[in-house]
């Protein structure tokens, strides 16, 4: 983000905004802080987060990033733990599987009894997370475990998401992901 224009729309007592400020500070990102009056929201906030109209909103080179950063943390952690499942062996792989399953359990806990993360309808958080399900077959096959065994509600959520035609059409096929992962794994093994 060096040299990029970064703006944070925030409200000082917001713990979600504090997450954004901590993350930006820890990464050493320079940004412009704009305090929002939540009773009289700015036009920039309304345009940047038109659905929920909430802070924080990070605007990076004119593109808004909305919602709680905890979801970004989940996604980041899921990617790293998932990678350990298919790229390592032995104790390291077992540790990766355990870490990965714990992250999935956290997600399942956030889902609760709702059909989708936002409630009754497929929404932003579902969009952010459903793409990871395309890798589940690879993780299970190469890690020799069952996600459904540990997180049945999460797998039911995946099925509900895939029943939405637009969603299933847009996702990569799990078998192609598996073939890609095998090719990548053999390439790394050869190096």
pLDDT of residue 77: 59
pLDDT of residue 66: 79
Q: Would the pLDDT of 148 be above 80?
A: yes
pLDDT of residue 74: 46
Summarize the confidence of residues 159-182 as an average pLDDT.
Answer: 93
Phi, psi of 14 (to 5 degrees): -70, 120
Token pair for residue 81?
Answer: 């733990």
Return the percentage of the chain with pLDDT > 70, whole number.
89
Residues 6+ apart with CB under 8 A from 73: none
pLDDT of residue 85: 92
Number of residues that this document lists for the chain: 191
Summarize the confidence of residues 71-83 as an average pLDDT.
Answer: 63
Q: What mean pLDDT is reported for the chain?
A: 86
- List the single range of 19-23, 36-40, 67-71, 187-191 with lowest mean pLDDT: 67-71
As a 3-state breakdown, the chain gives helix, strand, coil percent values, each rounded to 5, of 60, 10, 30
Q: Would the pLDDT of 183 be above 80?
A: yes
Torsion 74-76-79-80 (CA) sign: negative
Residues 50 and 124: their CA atoms lie apart, in Å, by 12
Residue 93: pLDDT band by 50, 70, 90 thresholds?
A: very high
pLDDT of residue 68: 57
Q: Would the pLDDT of 75 be above 90?
A: no
pLDDT of residue 69: 55
pLDDT tens-digit readout, 20-51: 887 777 667 788 999 999 899 999 999 998 88
Domains annotated on the chain, with CATH: 6-65 (3.40.30.10), 69-190 (1.20.1050.10)
pLDDT tens-digit readout, 109-147: 888 899 998 889 998 788 878 888 999 999 999 999 999
């Amino acid at each position: 983000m060096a040299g990029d224009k970064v703006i944070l729309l925030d409200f000082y007592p917001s713990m979600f905004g504090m997450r954004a400020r901590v993350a930006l500070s820890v990464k050493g990102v320079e940004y412009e802080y704009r305090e929002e009056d939540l009773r009289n929201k700015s036009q920039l906030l309304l345009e940047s987060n038109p659905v929920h109209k909430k802070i924080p909103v990070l605007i990076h080179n004119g593109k808004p990033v909305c919602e709680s950063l905890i979801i970004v943390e989940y996604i980041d952690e899921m990617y790293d733990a998932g990678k350990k499942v298919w790229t390592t062996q032995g104790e390291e792989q077992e540790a990766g599987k355990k870490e990965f399953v714990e992250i999935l359990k956290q997600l399942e806990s956030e889902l609760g009894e709702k059909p989708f993360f936002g409630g009754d309808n497929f929404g932003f958080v579902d969009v952010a997370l459903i793409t990871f399900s395309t890798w589940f077959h690879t993780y299970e096959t190469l890690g020799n475990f069952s996600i459904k065994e540990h997180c049945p509600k999460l797998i039911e959520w995946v099925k509900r998401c895939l029943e939405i035609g637009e969603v299933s059409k847009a996702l990569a096929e799990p078998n192609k992901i598996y073939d890609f992962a095998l090719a990548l794994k053999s390439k790394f093994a050869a190096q």
